[in-house]
Structure 1
Amino acid sequence: FPPSQYQLGLARQVIESGEPALICEVDEERLARVRQMPAWPLYEQLGIGPCMIVPLATAGRTFGAISFVSSSDRQYTDNDLATAVELARRAAYAIDNARLYRQAQDANRAKDEFLATLSHELRTPITATLGWASMLRLGHVSPENMSVAIETIERSTRAQAKLIDEILDVSRIVTGKLQLTIGPVHLPTVIRAAIDAIRPSLESKNLHLDLQFGTINGVPTGDSARLQQVIWNLLSNSVKFTPAGGSIVISVEQRAADAVRISVRDNGSGIPRSFLPFIFERYRQADTSSSRSHGGLGLGLAIVKSIVELHGGSAAAFSEGEGKGATFTITLPILAATTTTAGMPPIDMARSLSLTGVSVLVVEDDPNTRGMLTNLLRSYGAQVNAADSAPAAVEELRKSRPSVIVSDIAMPGEDGCAFLMRIRSGAVERCADVPAIALTAYAAPEDRDRILKSGFHFHLAKPVDPLVVVETVRQAVEKT
């Protein structure tokens, strides 16, 4: 029976205490209480006599009870009670194993659905990228469609990069390796940056966005980049499930002296009540069918919850049901900052950057990335030499001293860290102090620390916005 049905019976005491009960005689007072129980018709049919009630418990958790009732004059003994306790113990383990098996099946099914979704989400942008790239190579793209081709390739590539970032973030969360760079957070800047990033999607669906800022006393602390990711994920979720012409409201208010609450509310498709308890679980989506109308891996909200909890906050979701919109809230503590890390200044998107007079040595074994970096930096006025390995880079350094080195880390033979340590030790005359930028797929915090300790001044994780590369080269030149 559900616990509520035990509210007048001895079984409730057994469940709450976890101790068995042996009743040798049912007196009138106890019989009066039994008559008020939902199971009374069954007891009346059997005839009430001596009884035993034993708890169902596993791993220190009592989740039910078994009642043994005798309809004869036979009295239960302590040996009978011991037998009943053993039966209940075995039954409890059987029930618990069945529950765990069902949970394992659900988890495996969720992972299978996730892998199927991942395959679809990766193949879709790849198809567009390869198709347009093939037509460009064959010269089958007309001048008027050239910008469409380039925009599609860029958009598809960014979509793939986002999927990979989400998978890597989940991996870091699961292994406990997701770290935060804590410092003062200017919430208006963080939220507006997230809005700017999502604005093209807002405009494409003609969605109205209302930003409501309350008064915040004090400065919240946290990882600005990760909090921007949280806001972006919540906005992206609302944009995805809000129909064209709908509205989204972001509100920021102080809930207590030491907490600030950020809410994202939409009038979209809402959340089924049955799915609401699972909304922040990894790999879970309300619709996993092949006919679903929305993309994504079902990881974004799980990442939101994990990042917010790493900040010491909490995340919650509310919805009245399908078709009634949804509200997501995060609550963040206002704490004293322990570390302040200056981030990269905003990049002027109006092509005002210039690398005229700057010489750069690009060290990259992948020919596609090497060619992209070479052309990118030259387009901003830099003089660029390129090498496909550490030994080739040493030869280039012996010919001339560059203003900056941009190097990959994972390369055949000698890797980027070993290469730079050799340069820092004076292996090439006049080059020991050349500013160096690591551009690498090694993006974990421990990788960043190792790379910076080897002598690099900057660490950029692939994939990276080209303008970030240009701006970082400019900053590196200022170090000299």
Structure 2
Amino acid sequence: YVTYLNAIHPDDRHIIHETIREVLSPGSTGHYEIQYRAIGVADSQERWLEEKGRVLLDDAGRPARFLGTILEITERRLAEDALKKAKQDAEDANRAKDQFLAMLSHELRTPLTPVLMTIASLQRNHDIPDNARRDLEVLRRNVELEALLIDDLLDLTRIAHGKLELRNDAIDVHASLNYALGVSASDLNEKQIKVQLDLAAKEHHCWADAARLQQVFWNIIKNAVKFTPARGQLRISTRNDAEHYIVIDFTDTGIGINRELQPRIFDAFEQGGSGVTNRYGGLGLGLAISKRVIDLHAGKISVQSEGRGTGATFTIKLKAMETSLLEGPAYPLDHDGSAEDSAEILLVEDHEDTARALRRMLENAGYQVGYASTLASARDLAAKRRFRLVISDLGLPDGSGLDLMGELGDSGQLRGIALSGFGADSDVAAAKAAGFAEHFTKPVDWERLRHTIHRLLDRRG
């Protein structure tokens, strides 16, 4: 036994002692299976061994000896360790990639907010001539397109990890289609593509994530623009089928899709062959993301084309809501300029351009704004004034907006809106857990922010 024990690696001898103690204890089956390292007597090499055995008892029921087998499993253990390391390395690489993409998204999104806010402020100036107003509209749409492109890159990663989630509400599909057309208007006009709308569905509301649904519509319209020659046509129609689904058809007069490619058209990076990719550019992510989004809505998306030169029809089916379930929009489309307009709002934002643009828009809307760029100065302001609402960036130089909301929201009187360049579901959940009523991912749309502010300040809300 001493020779046997001395051959075992010093760090693994406790395995032997513990096993002997366990198999000799009352109630034990006497069987054991263990793995440990041993040191070769001749070559002093470390080897992995697997030992299986049992205790043999004498006639009196006392332990007499051990009977078992010992197998060398060094290669198997090395292979298992290599596999574990490779898996850990892959997980570490995925985490690093996710963190990089999240940070990249934050850095790309943050400068877009002051641009959109400045455009919105200028558009509210009635003295601006029509041609300048049209130019501002082009700027606004293209900034929004930039934000959507950032979303596409991040969504691909979320889809791969099964982390793409929805924030559903009652959505007017017709309104979403019109919005997507508005975002794409400059591209449609540039190629002189004629758009025909036939929104015939009587049941045109569904339970969906508004931003995701608009993203799908925009992706399909963008594809139609890309693959349709100048002065072509795009027809968008809706109808209800017998199963109370809303059916949306996008029919273009573009280059069409070969039949053999249609089953792969919703795969990532697939655009219909390398020739198409080289000629028309793009990453080929839009349709793959669109299919996943529609799948998450328990809907269907399909394509039909007779082949090259015949155009294509993309069809989306979503379960329609019963009209009786609708309670109106999530926020009022307008309000009567009530006393809530003069409420005091604490704005906490360390990005100077974003803070300046947001503060100007809030003050122009009639709100009293207290501004802080750090967590410490926000605390000081909150101690001196009675704010009704806090709008705070989450990443501050000396702390987090999450901590600020946790402190200020204890009374239950202060509502909060979080601003962040990070828009993953975990980021939204963290903001809600800290006490924020809403989370806005940059770039911030002023009209949506304005409606949300009014809703949160409305005592009836």
TM-score of the pair, normalised by structure 2: 0.62
- Alpha carbons 1:355, 1:380 under 8 Å: kept: no
Change (3 A) 1:156 1:210: closer
CA spacing shift, 1:345–1:243, aligned 2, 3 Å = farther
Alignment of 1:86-125 (within 5 A): none
2:415 equivalent to 1:435 = yes
Counterpart of 1:323 in structure 2 is 309
Matched, 1:452 2:432: yes
Cα distance per residue 1:106-137 (max 9 Å; x no partner): xxxxxxxxx9xx9xxx9xx99xx9xxxxxxxx
What CA distance in whole angstroms lies between the structure 2 residues aligned with 1:287 and 1:391?
56
Partner of 2:392: 407
Letter in 2 for 1:425: D
**Stretches of structure 2 lacking an aligned partner (at least 5 in a row):** 1-100, 116-128
CA 346–206 in structure 1, closer or farther in 2 if over 3 Å, else same: farther
Superposition TM-score, scaled by structure 1 size: 0.60
Shift in alpha-carbon separation, 1:218–1:162, aligned structure 2, 3 A: closer
Work out which of the residue numbers 431, 448, 453 in structure 2 matches 1:468: 448
What residue is the counterpart of 1:419 in the other structure?
A: 404
- Cα 1:260/1:355, change in 2 over 3 Å: closer
| Amino acid paired to 2:438 | F
Q: Distance in 2 between matches of 1:351 and 1:443?
A: 32
Distance in 1, matches of 2:243 and 2:276, equals: 47
RMSD: 4.0
Q: CA deviation at 1:362?
A: 0.9
Contact 1:280 1:301 (8 Å CA) reproduced: yes
For 2:209 and 2:237, the matched residues in 1 are separated by 20
**How far is the alpha carbon of 1:260 from its aligned partner?**
4.1
Return closer, same or farther for 1:447/1:372 CA change in 2, 3 Å cut-off.
Answer: same
Contact 1:353 1:470 survives alignment (8 Å): no
1:49-68 mapped onto 2 (5 Å cutoff): none
* 1:395 maps onto 2:380 in alignment: yes
Pick the aligned partner of 2:369 from 384, 398, 417: 384
Deviations 1:243-289 (A, max 9, x none): 23221122323444254432211111223455433321112234767
Q: Percent identity?
A: 33
The Cα shift of 1:363 comes to: 0.6
Conservation of the 8 A alpha-carbon contact between 1:417 and 1:454: yes
Q: Which residue matches 1:264?
A: 250
Q: For the Cα contact (< 8 Å) 1:347–1:468, is it kept in 2?
A: no
Between 1 and 2, higher relative CO (CA 8 Å, sep ≥ 6) is seen in: 2
Q: Which has the higher strand share?
A: 2
Secondary structure in structure 2 of the residue aligned to 1:371: helix
> 1:467 & 1:324 partners in 2: Cα distance?
40
Instruction: Give the distance between the partners of 2:166 and 2:327, measured in 1 at CA.
Output: 11
Distance 1:343 1:456, change over 3 A: farther
Q: Distance in 2 between matches of 1:291 and 1:217?
A: 38
Superposed displacement of residue 151, structure 1: 6.0
Q: Secondary structure at the match of 2:256?
A: coil
CA distance in 1 between counterparts of 2:226 and 2:330 reads: 30
Query: Per-residue deviation at 1:391?
Result: 1.0
Structure 1, residues 217-243: CA drift from partner, whole Å, max 9, x if none?
A: 796544344333322221221122222
Change (3 A) 1:475 1:296: farther
In structure 2, do the counterparts of structure 1 residues 324 and 354 end up closer, same or farther at CA, with 3 Å as the change threshold? farther
Q: Which residue of 2 aligns with 1:367?
A: 352
**Aligned runs of 1:153-172 on 2, under 5 Å?**
154-172=140-158
Partner SS, residue 425 of structure 1 = helix
Please give the alpha-carbon distance, in whole angstroms, between the structure 2 residues aligned to 1:161 and 1:398. 37
What does the per-residue CA deviation read over 1:200-232, in whole Å, with 9 as the maximum and x for residues that have no partner? 433343322223345567965443443333222
For residue 422 of structure 1, give the secondary structure of its aligned residue in structure 2. Answer: helix
Shift of 1:441: 2.3
Q: Indicate conservation of the 8 Å contact 1:356/1:380, yes or no.
A: yes
